[in-house]
Structure 1
């Protein structure tokens, strides 16, 4: 079956929009601002965890064409079940409410002065409406919301770069590449890949998409992933560059919380790019970008728990309602508070998610059950010091981890995981040939 151009564009735009949320818009400008003349290296690091790994995750979905459960089932059914439940609880409890917090702080409160409770309540009521009409998610987001988001982003970036003086400050990062990698964690895009990728798979199963064959779906998802990834790359690089080149023109109050620094910087860039109209543009942009991501997260979680209970539509509705209620409660926290809660969680779950994504796109001979189990176990073990070091740093732990490559950058799991992969592949039992 030939893939129609319309289906490809709609799916690509929907995928981009489901990825692009609060952190994706707020994090890059301040990252570039602080990176100064090292903004290019910071951008490269950011792309690794915020673009490359997530798009590989979409390619894995294109190959598996199942649910999130399929990502970890080679480790063990029990592990995969626990992993899935953790991922969806984390997604519903942190990045989803974070979109409401960002919308309130940047778009709603400055204009109307309303309470975060009112904003979150209206916000997640609308999210629930969209999720309960999930068969229309791809078309609604892909045809209407995303093109508008992309056009506004390109306007801010293009005009901003064109009108800047192209001078940067001095970098505040000792290791720009690593700083970019770790900041990319905060976008939740690797987790988003395994969550919203499942939303795309389920949505494509509806008859109105007219995509039935495995090979056709795989081609459609892969092409859409590359197009969405290219769009994310352009937007992220542009936002980081704009933040770097405006560092000599815009001053941010270092005493403010990080979330307010991010919000004020992005607002100042929008005003310098589009005049006072930039405030309105930014408010609309934040609201739409956050909203589409929240819809994808809640829909993905609802789909998963629906599948656990014999495709019960009642479970789907109950999960969606629970996710939205939790969003209202947590969404009243400020953006920076949610990020601080997220860091130790990400240091634990992100490495496991990354290795599962990478292993699932490899050929079968490189991704046996033995390799899955060994690599995931080692990744888990070597991620523990990163989490403990963030929650309770001590000299003893620092001395112990000093022997682990990249441990001081919270990437101590990387080398052990790769070594385990190669060693396990080399020493795995050979299958006896059948004559």
Structure 2
């Protein structure tokens, strides 16, 4: 009887590792490959503190997000503690950001960046990119209609192959460094750890974790763990496995980027750095292999994101919604949503990877602070639920500050805002102190109304 009870509340070591690798595979996409090397190149001799900050944002926050969602149920339930309308708007914004507005176009742009060195001499890059993106998204859309078989196949092949490739690229860079780190470039010449933390926003993994948590929890329940404490423990164990794998990969890619400081000081994205490193050490074969792996990995991620976003919008606003009031956009079926997202992403991807990454900064600057405070409160949801006014007070204050700052950065970067006078505002964390004050006010208001 005791043995059966233990089996129902705890996974075996092998099962825990399998769940951790599954979670790693869900997170690790194109952005995770291209960002660490560029960050380290720009940070130069300050790459170590910058990488430490990046690891906190790129690993610590997403794992906390997974746990927070598992504790409360779903992302909609987590955000719903603020207000139902806020929940709908915020979760929809997350799906748009990890979908057609940023992450989906980035898959095509990243894959194409890896193909540029293989283009015939004299071919116009703009024409080649347009043709590639049309073919890429047409294939992704068709496969997203029935993604299960292909996604399973790509997951078994591209994941292990990609890890082997990264080991080869990093190993060759360690054995034969391409160059040496240079003096830090702006903004890493000031508070590099904080700038590394802010760079970690662009992985978008915290936002993704708010949608992945439920999936991982359901997988663990399917393995026999059903009690809340056991579920939280196993999610945490899976998070440790994921964190270790992500940390090793990020540190390796950062090493490659740092040693390219004297070789490509003006590089603007990590895809070019990794291509140059593979080509330098393995010749044309390295370029071909890198391009093929990125193409498969990006296609796999693109299929999953189109499917994920199409399903959410069909269930929330379209034909699969159970709420008649949500049919303002019509009873649009899943296939139509998927086609619309593929077409929009195709058009956006032709602006290029650099433009997409630049556009992502203000959008993620608006969403990330809100997500961070929601995750922190979700981790402490018992205490926060006992003082329910904390949820709208903290989230509302942070939302106002982060959205105002993001709009300023996108429209009028030189404009001064009153929030610029807040402590830590000069390093992008001006919302921290107001969030703490709002929590105190929310607690006091809750007690007065009790």
**TM-score normalized with structure 2 length:** 0.82
Q: 1:317 aligns with which of 291, 312, 335?
A: 335
Determine which of 396, 405, 412 is the counterpart of 1:386: 405
The answer to whether the aligner puts 1:155 opposite 2:155 as a matched pair is no
Partner of 2:40: 32
1:353 aligned onto 2:371: yes
**1:245 corresponds to which of 251, 255, 259:** 259
Instruction: Give how far 1:372 is off.
Output: 1.2
Residue equivalent to 1:87:
94
Displacement of 1:220: 4.7
Q: Distance in 2 between matches of 1:264 and 1:347?
A: 25
Deviation at 1:370, TM superposition (A): 1.4
- Determine the structure 1 residue equivalent to 2:362: 344
CA contact (8 A) 2:129 2:350 kept: yes
2:388–2:442 Cα contact (<8 Å) kept: no
How big is each residue's C-alpha offset from its partner over 1:346-401, in whole Å with a ceiling of 9 and x where there is no partner?
1211211121122212241134531111110110122144224413134643xx34
Where 1:186 maps in the other structure, the secondary structure is helix
- More displaced 10-residue stretch of structure 1: 347-356 or 11-20: 11-20
* Distance in 2 separating the partners of 1:298 and 1:212: 30
CA distance 1:221–1:192, change in 2 (3 Å): same
Which of 184, 187, 193 is the aligned partner of 2:209?
Answer: 193
CA separation of 1:115 and 1:303: change in aligned 2, threshold 3 A: same
1:134–1:423 CA distance, 2 compared to 1 (3 A)? farther
Q: Kindly tell me: are residues 10 and 120 of structure 1, through their superposed partners in 2, closer, same or farther at Cα, counting changes over 3 Å?
A: farther
50-59 or 316-325, which deviates more: 316-325
Deviation at 1:125, TM superposition (A): 3.5
- Change over 3 Å in CA distance of 1:395–1:130 after alignment to 2: closer
SS at match of 1:429: helix
Distance 1:428 1:394 in 2: 39
Aligned-partner Cα distance in 2 for 1:116–1:203: 39
Deviation of residue 138 (structure 1)?
A: 7.3
SS in 2 for 1:99: helix
**1:44 to partner: Cα distance:** 1.1
Deviation at 1:115, TM superposition (A): 2.4
* Alignment correspondent of 1:61: 69
Counterpart in the other structure of 1:110? 118
- After superposition, the C-alpha distances for 1:11-42 in whole angstroms (9 at most, x for unaligned) are 43342233222222122112111211111110
Check whether the contact 1:11–1:142 (CA below 8 A) recurs between aligned residues.
no
SS of 1:247 mapped into structure 2:
coil
Residue 302 of structure 1 aligns to a residue whose secondary structure is helix
Q: What are the ranges of 5 or more consecutive residues in structure 2 without an aligned counterpart?
A: 1-7, 324-330
User: Is the CA contact 2:220–2:234 (under 8 Å) kept in the aligned structure 1?
Assistant: no
Mapping 1:18-417, distance limit 5 Å: 18-66=26-74, 68-92=75-99, 93-107=101-115, 110-111=118-119, 115-133=128-146, 135=148, 139-140=152-153, 142-164=155-177, 167-172=180-185, 173-198=189-214, 200=216, 213=226, 215=228, 218-248=232-262, 250-252=263-265, 254=266, 258-259=268-269, 262-308=270-316, 309-310=320-321, 315-367=333-385, 368-390=387-409, 391-394=411-414, 396-397=416-417, 400-417=418-435
> How many Å apart are 1:137 and its aligned residue?
7.6
Q: 1:402 to 1:317 in 2, by over 3 A?
A: closer
Inter-partner Cα distance in structure 1 for 2:433 and 2:297: 35
Report the secondary structure of 1:244's partner residue: helix
- Root-mean-square deviation (CA, aligned residues, Å) is 3.1
Say if 2:154 and 2:296, in contact at 8 Å, map to a contact too. no
Q: Which runs of 5+ in 1 are unaligned?
A: none
**SS of 2:32's equivalent?**
helix
In structure 2, do the counterparts of structure 1 residues 167 and 118 end up closer, same or farther at CA, with 3 Å as the change threshold? closer
| Equivalences, count | 420
Give the distance between the partners of 1:123 and 1:354, measured in 2 at CA. Answer: 34
User: 2:151 & 2:332 partners in 1: Cα distance?
Assistant: 22
Distance in 2, matches of 1:336 and 1:307, equals 33
Q: Provide Cα deviations, 1:268-307, integer angstroms capped at 9, x if missing partner.
A: 2223344443212321232233233323322332332343
Contact 2:30 2:107 in 1 (8 A): yes
Show CA shifts across 1:234-276 (max 9, x none): 111211122113323x134x3x7x24xx333222222334444
Q: Please state how far the C-alpha of 1:196 moved relative to its aligned partner.
A: 3.7
In structure 2, C-alpha distance between the alignment counterparts of 1:374 and 1:227, rounded to whole Å? 35
CA contact 1:42–1:179 (8 Å) conserved in 2: yes
Asked if the contact 2:420–2:430 (Cα under 8 Å) also holds between the matched residues in 1, the reply is no
